[in-house]
Structure 1
């Protein structure tokens, strides 16, 4: 499977997914009243580390919103898997499901096959995190190949606060591609 590698400064691709109610959303667009969006791609219901990470993000949702940052999460799980996972989650931010292999490739995430039918019934994305600024450009990119490596949430939020502070005039980092 070939996939692109999204680079800081690139336009975030339009990725349309559905929530538990069946409503569609383009994940590249923040919710009304917010101008940035933090998109968390998670492995799915079968991953207890994902459940913990999503629950920990909920504790920072208000802080992110105060900075103008929307928060959403998405996986390749089915409608039924998302409904089952919601019982383990204590989150109020939108969760989307049905991330297809082609969309995973668009995002440049690592994809794994399940170890057994008990784990899950479909290829799934390994964790990734994308922060898209008010211009639709990737400001922060973090892609992992396993569930044990993810941004520390307090550090991430503190960093986003720094980036969003106009006095810091902090540019998108990592845009040089000539090496």
Structure 2
């Protein structure tokens, strides 16, 4: 069991990171015109699966914007490594970098160490996906320990359209204790 795993309905832990090409990025604090935030944690430049997934995110920026959902992507990479990878992605969303081990732990992410000649700078987060509403509450939590376990983009958009289209607020599923 993952002891620090955040629970749906909890407030997202305060996490602030530098953002590529300016200012800072605060998880749970949306940009203008958005009231929800989809946070995508990716492993970093060394991960080709992450690069592909980040490219796929570009396809859902417009439909999520219509739903008032901002996309942000974050990793533990340095600014230089993040910028290098992002040139391959050309994202239409904000990218944060420099996720610390303490921040990874507060988000309940699985953390891996460099191994087998991996081109990484240090420990890195395995994939995670968080949906945060306007109150800073987690509505969706997906934490994986390997790069190929991630929500499919098409299913994600369909589910978010369903959630946002409900007349009553979508409940925080998975809260039975």
Is the structural similarity TM-score above 0.5?
Answer: yes
**Equivalent in the alignment of 1:73:** 73
**Equivalent in the alignment of 1:157:** 157
Residue 29 of structure 2 aligns to a residue whose secondary structure is coil
Query: CA offset at residue 137 of structure 1?
Result: 0.6
Residue 88 of structure 2 aligns to a residue whose secondary structure is coil
Q: Which runs of 5+ in 1 are unaligned?
A: none
**Equivalent in the alignment of 1:47:** 47
Tell me if 1:60 matches 2:88: no
Residues of 1 paired with 2:118 and 2:12: CA distance?
A: 33
Query: CA offset at residue 6 of structure 1?
Result: 0.1
Query: Any idea what the Cα deviations from partners look like across 1:52-96, whole Å, max 9, x if unmatched?
Result: 001001111010010000100000000110121122112120011
Larger displacement relative to structure 2 (75-84 or 14-23): 14-23
Query: CA offset at residue 139 of structure 1?
Result: 0.3
Aligned runs of 1:77-92 on 2, under 5 Å?
Answer: 77-92=77-92
**Equivalent in the alignment of 1:100:** 100
**Equivalent in the alignment of 2:122:** 122
Residues of 2 paired with 1:156 and 1:86: CA distance?
A: 22
Larger displacement relative to structure 2 (165-174 or 96-105): 165-174
CA contact (8 A) 1:40 1:72 kept: yes
**Equivalent in the alignment of 2:36:** 36
Query: CA offset at residue 166 of structure 1?
Result: 2.8
Query: CA offset at residue 168 of structure 1?
Result: 5.9
Residues of 2 paired with 1:128 and 1:13: CA distance?
A: 14
Q: Which runs of 5+ in 2 are unaligned?
A: none
Change (3 A) 1:118 1:169: closer
What TM-score does the superposition give when structure 2 sets the normalisation length? 0.94
Aligned runs of 1:138-157 on 2, under 5 Å?
Answer: 138-157=138-157
Change (3 A) 1:96 1:3: farther
Residue 150 of structure 2 aligns to a residue whose secondary structure is coil
**Equivalent in the alignment of 1:26:** 26
Residues of 1 paired with 2:168 and 2:53: CA distance?
A: 29
Query: CA offset at residue 141 of structure 1?
Result: 0.3
Query: CA offset at residue 30 of structure 1?
Result: 1.1
Query: CA offset at residue 160 of structure 1?
Result: 0.6
CA contact (8 A) 1:3 1:106 kept: no
Query: CA offset at residue 169 of structure 1?
Result: 4.6
